[in-house]
Amino acid sequence: MVKKITVIGAGYVGEHVAQALMLQELTEEVVLIDVLEDMPQGKGLDQRQSSTVWGTDTKVTGTNDWADTADSDIVIHTAGRPRKPGMSRDDLLNANVEIVRPCMEKVKEFSPDAIVIMVANPLDAMAYVALKVTGFPSNRVFGMAGILDTARFRAFISMETGVSVRDIQAMVLGGHGDTMVPLPRFTTIAGLPLSHWVSQDKIDAMVKRAAGGGGEIVKLLKFGSAYMAPAAGAVEMAEAIIKNSKRVLPCCCWLQGEYGHNDIYMGVPIIIGENGVEKIIEYPFNDEEQASFDHSVDAVKGLLADVAKFL
């Protein structure tokens, strides 16, 4: 358990992150901060009262004052404008830079030793903003994306095969968006390859659905975007840090030569521990997988080139 985790943004994702942290008692205190007056205080009070029913001693505090976030061990940034129907993650770039940048300036001021988990979209670009604004070492600034993309892929596999998600091992890499890179060749169910369970046509359909998983939910909701699965992914990362469990999870990390690329945030498998990103794991790609990964890199490079002018 750590002393304090700050969750930036008290919207749907933020409130679910705060509640999960409270329910799992991963920290002594969760600080839920938002620019809207009284809203985070109300949600914090509601969750504090619910803790007596759940039987947890983690306190949740809502605030508009950055001083209340001081000396946070982990900061989870969820604040940002949501996707709307027909809106790509790339469309969110300009608006969300203006949200993330001042927040990261406050994180640098009040919690200079924190580990930052970025959740806001476009994820790869917002992680880059956080890195440049805070000046923190890259092992302490990374993003939740691959866990969500992989969760969607695993869910679709479970729905298709009827087996428990607990027995499905999968990995989705690359940028968080339409160019993500699912890896069916490395996907197994109880040790058997995915191709043992379903046809190639069905595998291709699940890969395509996973790549468009976020957009599918946006279309169904008709307002906002997914929040429960993203929140779960962020908390899984925080838990791995807090417990120093050395989990191997796909996260958005700063590459320095890995997979043949430098100075770019991309979704790759990493070992997560108390220091954040402890090691990047390199999968042995075949030519087709490497080409897909390189294509995803090119897409993210365009985003970073656009965002650089705001920093």
Q: Which residues are catalytic?
A: 176
Which is nearest to 106 in space by CA: 68, 56, 147?
68
**What is the residue-level pLDDT of the chain in tens, covering all 311 positions?**
899 999 999 999 999 999 999 999 999 999 999 999 999 999 999 999 999 999 999 999 999 999 999 999 999 999 998 766 666 656 677 889 999 999 999 999 999 999 999 999 889 999 999 999 999 999 999 999 899 999 999 999 999 999 999 999 999 999 987 889 999 999 999 999 999 999 999 999 999 999 899 889 989 998 888 999 999 999 999 999 999 999 999 999 999 999 999 999 999 999 999 999 999 999 999 999 999 999 999 999 988 888 887 77
Which is nearest to 117 in space by CA: 147, 155, 152, 160?
147
Domain ranges (residues) in the chain: 2-143, 146-308
Look up residue 147 and give its two tokens: 């866990």
- The predicted pLDDT at position 303 comes to 86
Angle at 129 between CA 110 and CA 296, to 5 degrees: 145
- The predicted pLDDT at position 147 comes to 96
Tokens 């306190």 correspond to what residue? 59
The pTM for the full model equals: 0.95
- The predicted pLDDT at position 83 comes to 63
Question: Taking the CB of residue 135, how many other CB atoms lie within 10 A of it?
Answer: 10
- The predicted pLDDT at position 279 comes to 98
Helix runs in 80-167, H state only: 93-110, 123-134, 146-161
Fold of 2-143: Rossmann fold (3.40.50)
Q: How far apart are CA 119 and CA 225, in angstroms?
A: 13
CATH number of 146-308: 3.90.110.10
- Count Cβ neighbours within 10 Å for each residue of 38-57 and write b for 16 or more, e otherwise: ebbbebbeebbeebeeeebe
